[in-house]
Amino acid sequence: MTSARTAGWAAVALVLMALAVPWFLWRNASVAFGLPVWLWWHVGWMVLASIVFAVFARTDWGLGVEEVR
């Protein structure tokens, strides 16, 4: 069970890291509400990352750092 949870959180972390930089928005000059869309992407992504971290901290803090016996 623990290894499955560790793998799940690792997958979530990889997705958060992979999509943190909006490569697909490069050279896109679109503007929404007065700011570039890529900036909104970063704002939204930081909110999402904060929520994911809060869930991780409340549920599985310390997962993957236990002593191996």
User: Which residues is 36 bridged to in the sheet?
Assistant: 31
pLDDT at residue 67, as a whole number: 66
- Bridge partners for 31 per DSSP: 36
Specify if 31 maps to a domain. Answer: yes
On average, the pLDDT of the chain sits at 88
Cβ–Cβ < 8 Å for 25, 37: yes
| Residue 11 counted as domain residue | yes
Give the domain extent around 30: 2-59
* Residues comprising the chain, all counted: 69
Q: Which residues contact 29 (CB under 8 A, 6 or more apart)?
A: 36
Better-predicted residue by pLDDT, 54 or 62: 54
- Asked whether residue 48 is domain-assigned, the answer is yes
Asked whether residue 67 is domain-assigned, the answer is no
Domain count, the chain: 1
44, part of any domain = yes
**20 part of a folded domain:** yes
User: What pTM was estimated for this model as a whole?
Assistant: 0.78
Report if residue 16 sits inside a domain: yes
Tokens of 37: 């869309």
Per the domain annotation, does 68 fall within a domain?
Answer: no
Q: What is the pLDDT of residues 22-38, one digit of tens each?
A: 888 888 889 999 999 99
Residue 65 near residue 6 (C-beta atoms within 8 A): no
